[in-house]
């Protein structure tokens, strides 16, 4: 047997050895899909079917791409591993656009706008729409703009649905104008948002068939991880790229499609055979993570979904104990029960705190659990805290660097214009912004034009001239090279007097040092980039790398080093596993969420619960509150329908134990032992 097929189960071997034509690998939770992908790449290379540079593997996070590259390199050698194209969708498309974007009339020195930058642009645009009398939320427009782009559209369609409410219809009415102005603002600033990286690549390939043909010829084998999470835009990119050779292999699990709210389209994986009638389908159903009780519970729940491919997970790891199900009084009771059960399990099994994860539907559920953890002196980490690149001082330094690379970047300039203070007031900046909109000119040119016309004078003019001179000077130094990038960044930070600004604005010495350490971390990141960069290091490439890392999927944030019990949303837990998983808030209106009780939305909620169950390795515990404080009012709760879908034989329901282990102002009510019956109100 080939070395790359050894140690695989029959279904895994079948997937690895199938090298020609479309292939759909339906990989259930914990079925070893990453191993199958990497072994398949190694097998293709070992058989001489393709060269490393002819294989493209696409993932959803930079962390996943890095791990896949390391695994393949360990199998086929470091040199071949370096030649493989393994990246996220955004990284791959950025690489394409850096080489080809001039064909679309864009400047090659474009910068990438963060989510915060996008909100800033939209907010300013709304201020300039005189006809808008109502107060609009910029975030709602940002979301709608993203959905339009994720559908592969370059403008808002005339038949864009208006929604069921008056507010939704108002947003729909103004969306075309806001979308058009937003895109014009980005283009004038020579910036792209993250969706543009994919959308403009699609446009490039559609409008320039010769360029597309070049990439098709080069990338003969395309492999896609987590295919169930792709949106329509990603689907179109893959369809075009694989059209010539049709050697596309997609790996995913429709039962774990939980990102419909941000554009993921489950139809992509469900209709794969329609797109590729000659496709081979392989199911990976053997689970290497969980006990059979956990899997049987998950199988029973997900079987209630209609839009899915039939599969049934099984394990050789033993039956395991039934799922424990605690019925508690309210959220404080629930939190104390979580703590008590963690302590009980640790006493019984000698488990470490890092073996536990508490999962919930909404971040709002974490507060009482955190309080209970602190009171019990249990170490914990909450996944989903403030991202490093979202910290004020980090955003300031990055904005300076973006303005150095791309003087047209309006958002970057507006952030740094008065940081530190230079006497440039908001009124001055608003005046320049209005001029740029009226004459459709970039912001840097608008500044020069405003000063030429005498619209900016005195201290403001001096401040702007000083800043423009600073940016031009450092721009030239970065382009010339000769000095390490990190040294130049350090000089820029010193030149603008940023530490003095932090001294002025910090409320304490501790806060000052925390903020300054973040600035130093940016400089260290530049130095690290220089050390690891394979080619000549450039400031533009560093900013690209930083932007892509910042935009990494939230699942990547969940992989941070853990020092205690992990608290996280179920969405953040996707792709992770823990010996002991606690699922809190298993109530109607929470899981499933009250806004998702019908049709496709309900099925996605059920998939979310399925994902939560299948994170557990040794045991899963469910927690339910009979009453919960919501929007300032205490409301009675009923058991989640998803729990009722689990066979009784797989559940061990605790009511008396909860009452005995926890005391609070609300006592758990007497409850029927049958999960099939409706619980009585208190």
Q: End-to-end distance of the chain based on CA atoms, in angstroms?
A: 65
Which of 13, 33, 289, 659 is catalytic? The answer is 33
Which of 34, 120, 505, 554 is catalytic? The answer is 34
Burial profile 22-38: b = 16 or more Cβ within 10 angstroms, e = fewer = bbbbbbbbbbbbbbbbb
Q: Is 19 a catalytic residue?
A: no
Nearest to 248 by CA among 213, 214, 209, 275: 275
Q: Is 614 a catalytic residue?
A: no
CA distance 313 to 232: 29
Q: Is 33 a catalytic residue?
A: yes
CA distance 294 to 357: 15
Beta carbons of 215 and 242 less than 8 angstroms apart: no
Which of 228, 256, 328, 621 is catalytic? The answer is 256
Beta carbons of 248 and 224 less than 8 angstroms apart: yes
* Range 211-217 contact pairs with CB under 8 angstroms and sequence separation of 24 or more: 211/100, 211/103, 212/240, 212/241, 213/244, 215/96, 215/241, 216/240, 216/241, 216/242, 216/243, 216/244, 216/245, 217/244
Which of 71, 124, 408, 615 is catalytic? The answer is 615
Which of 193, 225, 265, 552 is catalytic? The answer is 225
CA distance 443 to 429: 10
Count of other CB atoms within 10 angstroms of residue 54? 19
DSSP secondary structure letter of residue 260: G
Q: Is 34 a catalytic residue?
A: yes
CA distance 272 to 265: 12
Q: Is 361 a catalytic residue?
A: no
Beta carbons of 530 and 345 less than 8 angstroms apart: no
Task: List CB contacts of 535: < 8 A, sequence separation 6 or more.
Answer: none
Which of 226, 254, 461, 544 is catalytic? The answer is 226
Q: Which residues are catalytic?
A: 33-34, 225-226, 256, 615
């Amino acid at each position: 047997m080939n070395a790359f097929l050894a140690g695989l189960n029959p279904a895994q071997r079948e997937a690895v050895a199938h090298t020609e034509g479309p292939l759909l690998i339906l990989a259930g939770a914990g079925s070893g899909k990453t191993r199958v992908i990497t072994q398949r790449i190694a097998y293709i290379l070992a058989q001489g079917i393709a060269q490393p540079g002819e294989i493209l593997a696409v993932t959803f996070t930079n962390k996943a791409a890095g791990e896949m590259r390391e695994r393949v390199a360990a199998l086929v050698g470091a040199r071949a591993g370096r030649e493989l194209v393994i990246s996220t969708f955004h990284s791959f498309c950025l690489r394409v656009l850096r080489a080809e974007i001039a064909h679309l009339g864009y400047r090659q020195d474009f910068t990438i706008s963060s989510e915060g930058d996008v909100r800033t642009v939209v907010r300013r645009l709304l201020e300039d729409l005189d006809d808008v009398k109502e107060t609009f939320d910029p975030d709602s427009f940002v979301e709608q703009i993203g959905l339009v782009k994720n559908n592969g559209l370059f403008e808002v369609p005339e038949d864009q649905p208006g929604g069921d409410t008056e507010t939704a219809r108002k947003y729909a009415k103004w969306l075309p104008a806001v979308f058009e102005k937003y895109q014009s603002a980005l283009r004038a600033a020579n910036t792209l948002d993250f969706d543009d990286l994919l959308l403009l690549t699609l446009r490039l390939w559609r409008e320039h068939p010769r360029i597309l043909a070049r990439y098709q010829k080069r990338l003969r084998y395309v492999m896609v991880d987590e295919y169930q999470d792709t949106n329509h835009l990603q689907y179109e990119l893959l369809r075009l790229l694989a059209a010539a050779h049709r050697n596309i292999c997609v790996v995913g699990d429709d039962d774990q499609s939980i990102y419909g709210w941000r554009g993921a389209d489950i139809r992509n994986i469900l209709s794969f055979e329609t797109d590729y009638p000659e496709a081979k389908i392989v199911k990976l159903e053997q689970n290497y993570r969980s006990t059979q009780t956990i899997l049987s519970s998950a199988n029973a729940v997900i079987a209630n979904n209609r839009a899915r491919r039939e599969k049934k997970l099984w394990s050789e790891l033993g039956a395991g104990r039934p799922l424990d199900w605690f019925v508690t009084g309210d959220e404080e009771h629930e939190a104390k029960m979580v703590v008590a059960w963690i302590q009980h399990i640790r006493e019984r099994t000698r488990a470490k705190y890092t073996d536990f994860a508490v999962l919930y539907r909404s971040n709002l559920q974490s507060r009482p659990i955190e309080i209970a953890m602190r009171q019990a002196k249990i170490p914990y980490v909450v996944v989903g805290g403030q991202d490093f690149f979202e910290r004020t001082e980090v955003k300031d330094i990055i904005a300076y660097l973006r303005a150095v690379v791309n003087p047209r970047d309006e958002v970057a300039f507006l952030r740094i214009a008065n940081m530190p203070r230079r006497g440039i007031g908001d009124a001055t900046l608003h005046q320049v912004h209005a001029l740029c909109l009226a004459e459709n000119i970039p912001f840097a040119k608008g500044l020069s034009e405003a000063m030429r016309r005498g619209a900016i004078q005195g201290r403001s003019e001096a401040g702007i001239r000083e800043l423009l001179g600073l940016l031009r000077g450092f721009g030239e130094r970065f382009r010339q090279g000769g000095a390490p990038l990190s040294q130049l960044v350090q000089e820029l930070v010193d030149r603008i007097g940023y530490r003095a600004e932090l001294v002025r604005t910090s409320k304490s010495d501790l806060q000052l040092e925390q903020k300054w350490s973040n600035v130093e971390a940016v400089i260290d990141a530049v130095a690290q980039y220089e050390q690891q960069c394979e080619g000549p290091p450039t400031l533009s490439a560093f900013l690209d790398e930083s932007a892509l890392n910042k935009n990494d999927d939230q699942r990547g944030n969940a992989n941070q080093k853990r020092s205690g019990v992990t608290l996280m949303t179920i969405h953040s837990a996707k792709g992770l596993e823990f010996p002991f998983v606690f699922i809190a808030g298993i109530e109607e209106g929470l899981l499933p969420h009250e806004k998702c009780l019908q049709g496709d939305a309900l099925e996605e909620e059920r998939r979310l619960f399925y994902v939560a169950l299948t994170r557990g390795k040794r045991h899963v515990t469910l927690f339910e509150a009979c009453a919960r404080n919501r929007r300032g009012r205490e409301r009675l709760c009923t058991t989640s329908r998803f729990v009722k879908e689990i066979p009784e034989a797989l559940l061990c329901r605790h009511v008396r134990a909860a009452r005995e282990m926890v005391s609070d102002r609300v006592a758990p009510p007497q409850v029927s032992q049958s999960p099939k019956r409706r619980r009585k109100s208190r």
